Each structure stands twice: as C-alpha cells, then as structure tokens.
Amino acid sequence: MLLLENVKKSYTEPNGALLPILDIPRFELSEAEQMILVGRSGCGKTTLLHVISGISHADSGTVQIDGLDLRRLSEQGRDRLRAEKIGYVFQTFNLLPAFTAIENVLLGMSFSGKGADRSRATQLLERVGLSHRITHKPKTMSVGEQQRVAVARALANRPKLLLADEPTANVDPSNQQSIIDLIRETCNEEKIALMMVTHSMEVAGQFDRVERLDEINQLSKVTT
Ligand SMILES: Nc1ncnc2c1ncn2[C@@H]1O[C@H](COP(=O)(O)OP(=O)(O)OP(=O)(O)O)[C@@H](O)[C@H]1O
C-alpha cells in the first residue's frame, strides 16, 4: 500500500547550502501492516512522514500510496489523497485552537469527504479517555489530553494509512498503553496500515516490525 523508491530529500540552509536528510532506495509497507520507525533525534523521521503524506515533497524518487504516485498528482489531488486515505498524528498535534475537542475530530472527518459522524467522533474520544473533555478547547486541555484528541482525529475518517509521530510522547504510562491499544485495535479492525515513530522501546517491543531509519537511509550509513 506504500512504496518508496529512490526517495531523496534535502533542506536548504539559510546560507543556501544543501542539507541532505533522506536517500532511501526502497521501502515498502503492505496493506494493514503495522510498523514502528525508530532512529536518533534529528535523523529525519518526521521528514520521512511529511514526504509520505505529501506535506512536503521529495526532491526525487517515487512515493506511491494505494497505487497512486504522489508526483503524478496535482496539489489538489495530493490534498484529496491526504484527506481521504491518510491519518496523521502530528508531533505538535496541530489542533485548531478555536474549536472544541469533538469539533476538531468532526472537522477532520468533514475534510475527508466521508461526512462528519458524531457518534464515531464521540466513541473515539471516549476510547482515548476524554469523554469528560469533549467540549473543551485545546488551550483548556493538558498537553497529553491534546495529544489524545489528535489521535482520535487521525483515526476518525477511517484512513488506509496512519502516520503517527510519537503519539505517546506527552502522556503518562497508563494513557500511553491505552493510546497504543486504541491505535492497534482500530488499525486491525479497519485494516489500516500503520507507521509509527516512537522513542519508547517499551512501545516498539510490542510490534513485530521495527525499522531503524539509519538502516534504510543511505545517508545515515555514510555519515554514522
Ligand atoms: N525546514 C527545515 N529546514 C532546514 N532543516 C530542517 C527543516 N526541518 C528539519 N530540518 C533538519 O532536518 C533534520 C531532520 O529533522 P526531523 O524533524 O525529520 O528529525 P527527527 O528524526 O524527526 O527528529 P526528532 O526525533 O528529534 O523528532 C534535523 O537535523 C533538522 O534540524
């Protein structure tokens, strides 16, 4: 369902110098497969998730999702693909501050074109332990609560691929496990492929497939 071939990505530094981050010859994730991505801070994990989701573009190479090549899609086509097929839990949550928890989840659904389903939104918020915070706005929630809203929002539109960037970084151990359980169970039930970044070995240890970005990225092999 996800295929990367010869994907390269660099950033341009303020002085104009190129900062190469990714050079991935090949990477595949099957339909409904669940995997963990690990690697040292700054090695390019978030960059890779951004390239896969189409938030930023690869400099070269192919990113194919569910048979669609991102480079062959218009900007609008990429937006549609992202809304319909990808759920994304951002490291920084990216909740809309003017809206309540449930409105944030419902908005994510309405962008997908599948329609806002209030009972699913409520159910997801209950499952992340936020039934008492449904009508709270992000600034009146703790960081861990905001992160749990972000998880509910990413799952709400029944994506084909869930990209989760450290979804348990700001929650306590008991909520960490319930978020991992919710993500895994929902992905299992709805056949969603999962690529999740974590620094937690406890979380990584629960998955059969754990990839080190350093090992799939040619640049890390050269520089480390
Ligand atoms: N917009 C940008 N312009 C220039 N450099 C950037 C930009 N975004 C990220 N970088 C650099 O690219 C490298 C990879 O960043 P990225 O956020 O992908 O790392 P990461 O593996 O997700 O790190 P962490 O585990 O700390 O979240 C870092 O050295 C970072 O400083």
The CB of 37 under 6 Å from ligand 1? The reply is no
pLDDT at residue 86, rounded to an integer: 96
In whole numbers, what is the pLDDT of the chain averaged over residues? Answer: 92
Partners of 86 in the β-ladder: 161
Separation CA 46–CA 53 (nearest Å):
11
pLDDT at 221 over 80: no
When divided into structural domains, the chain yields a total of 1
Q: Within a 13 Å sphere around the CA of 37, how many CA atoms are in the beta-carbon half? A: 26
Separation CA 189–CA 111 (nearest Å):
23
**Local confidence band at 224 (pLDDT 50, 70, 90 cut-offs):** very low
pLDDT at 194 over 80: yes
Q: What is the pLDDT of residues 106-161, one digit of tens each?
A: 998 887 777 789 999 999 999 888 999 999 999 999 988 999 999 999 999 899 99
pLDDT at residue 61, rounded to an integer: 97
**Residue 122, by phi and psi: left (phi above 0), alpha (psi -120 to 50) or beta?**
alpha
* Nearest Cα residue to atom 28 of ligand 1: 42
Q: Which helix (H) or strand (E) holds 184?
A: helix 173-190
Q: What is the mean pLDDT of residues 160-173?
A: 92
Q: Which atom of ligand 1 is nearest to the CA of 49?
A: 18
The CB of 38 under 6 Å from ligand 1? The reply is no
**Local confidence band at 89 (pLDDT 50, 70, 90 cut-offs):** very high
Cα(46) to centroid(ligand 1), Å: 7
The CB of 167 under 6 Å from ligand 1? The reply is no
Percentage of residues in the chain with pLDDT exceeding 70?
A: 98
Tell me phi and psi for residue 18, to 5 degrees: -85, 135
pLDDT at residue 3, rounded to an integer: 97
Cα(101) to centroid(ligand 1), Å: 29
Q: What is the mean pLDDT of residues 41-66?
A: 95
Cα(116) to centroid(ligand 1), Å: 34
Q: What is the mean pLDDT of residues 74-97?
A: 91
The CB of 19 under 6 Å from ligand 1? The reply is yes
Quick check: pTM over 0.90?
yes
Pocket test for ligand 1, best of 21, 50, 89, 196 (most atoms within 8 A of CB): 21
Give the structural domain span for 196: 2-221
**68-69 β-sheet, strand order:** 18-29, 2-12, 60-65, 68-69
Contact 134, 160 (CB under 8 A): no
Residue whose token pair is 């071939």: 5
Percentage of residues in the chain with pLDDT exceeding 90?
A: 79
Separation CA 164–CA 4 (nearest Å):
18
pLDDT at 223 over 50: no
Could you give the ipTM of this predicted complex? Answer: 0.97
The CB of 17 under 6 Å from ligand 1? The reply is no
What CATH number did the domain enclosing 47 receive? 3.40.50.300
Q: What is the pLDDT of residues 24-48, one digit of tens each?
A: 999 999 999 999 999 999 999 999 9
Q: What is the mean pLDDT of residues 206-223?
A: 86
**Local confidence band at 171 (pLDDT 50, 70, 90 cut-offs):** confident
Listing DSSP states for 193-211 in one string gives EEEEE-S-HHHHTT-SEEE
